[in-house]
Structure 1
Amino acid sequence: MRLWLHTIILLTITGFSKAQHFIHLAILGALGLVGLWIMHTLLQDVNKLFSRPPLGPAKFFLVKRSVNEGDYFENGTLQDPMSNVSIDWNRILINDPVGCARSFVCQLAAEDPKLSSIGKEKIYYQLLRSTNRKGWAGKEIRFALNYGINSKKTQSCRGYYKYCPFSISTMRAVLHFLGAVA
């Protein structure tokens, strides 16, 4: 009887140690899925901003199920696709704990106009529309935009949002790789 008790205790301890590894694996898997979901959500918003087809390697990986987002008719009038873009800034800012979205907005506003690219006007237009929204996300975007306009230096924005490790050129390179910015 004593041998059976020792065997059951040994198997129980072994089961708990194996369960711990399984729990670690399950947590890592869940975190990986959450990371993929966040990337998917952010890329959907980037794809809404820009209607041109992706370039380079991204064109092989991005698949759209919708119709082309060019000019289209609705109720007999020509609609601008930029006027129908709805970006969920609350969700973006909640899922951006280090403040890279705010840093990008600030650096974009502080950037020298001579160095700006073609895509800046589209992003800037959406940001100006977003600052009119009520709520904390509109205030955050408005603050980052005003801070960038007043500072006139991208380095001061990087100093204010010090937890974001990316410069505006790096973030633009990522957007360019994904086919979102010219």
Structure 2
Amino acid sequence: MYRLIILLVLLVGVLYSLHLLVQDYQALTAAPKLLRFLFKRDLRSSQHLRGSVRWRRILQHDPIQCARYLYCDLGARPPNNSVGRGFVYMLTLKPHDEDLQSLEYFQMAYHRGQLGGIFGCKEYYPMCPFDAQLLFRLIQYLIDKQ
């Protein structure tokens, strides 16, 4: 019984970290921001529209490393859709100071995927009980529902 409760708590953590990733992805791809940027006359004001990702917070809520496993898989298999490409793009954004160290964990996961392939990802992140494709389906579900 205790194992089931622990597994459920870990699952909630995984879902919450994916939820944070989706929220940050949607904030970056929101059409109103893009339209405001396109119609601005002052180029310096476009710097204020650049989004950021809450890497530290995502890492805090990723105890079984599923978000890092997701990025490792993105490195191993180049994304074939806009959501995957958007998640890779999120790695290139300039983070806030408090997120810098956490971003490095996700960048390292991505590079490990590029070097080690899909099977290497499971070796680096064995704690995640989910398949990367399931994680992507959960992300797509969260995007569609918001």
Give, in angstroms, the shift of residue 173 of structure 1. 0.5
Task: Give 1 or 2: higher helix fraction.
Answer: 2
Change (3 A) 1:175 1:160: same
SS at match of 1:92: helix
Q: Distance in 2 between matches of 1:121 and 1:98?
A: 24
Change (3 A) 1:69 1:165: farther
Residue 11 (structure 1) aligns with? none
Residue 120 (structure 2) aligns with? 156
Residue 46 (structure 1) aligns with? 22
Partner of residue 131 from structure 2, selected from 140, 145, 167:
167
Q: Distance in 1 between matches of 2:130 and 2:42?
A: 42
Residue 101 (structure 2) aligns with? 136
Q: Distance in 1 between matches of 2:92 and 2:142?
A: 23
Question: 1:15-164 maps to which residues of 2 (within 5 A)?
Answer: 39=16, 42-50=18-26, 51=29, 68-73=32-37, 76-77=41-42, 84-111=50-77, 113=78, 116-129=80-93, 135-151=100-116, 153-164=117-128
Q: Percent of aligned pairs with the same residue? A: 23
Give, in angstroms, the shift of residue 97 of structure 1. 0.7
CA RMSD of aligned residues (A): 3.6
Deviations 1:110-133 (A, max 9, x none): 11x4x62232221111113368x7
Aligned residues: 129
TM-score (norm 2): 0.68
Preserved CA contact (<8 Å) 2:52 2:93: no
Preserved CA contact (<8 Å) 1:104 1:168: yes
Q: Which amino acid aligns with 1:76?
A: R
Preserved CA contact (<8 Å) 2:112 2:121: yes
Give, in angstroms, the shift of residue 143 of structure 1. 1.4
TM-score (norm 1): 0.56
Deviates more, 1:86-95 or 1:68-77: 68-77
Gaps of 5+ in 1: 1-27, 53-66
Preserved CA contact (<8 Å) 2:65 2:127: yes
Greater Cα radius of gyration, structure 1 or 2: 1
Q: Distance in 2 between matches of 1:42 and 1:169?
A: 13
Gaps of 5+ in 2: none
Change (3 A) 1:92 1:144: same
Preserved CA contact (<8 Å) 2:112 2:120: no
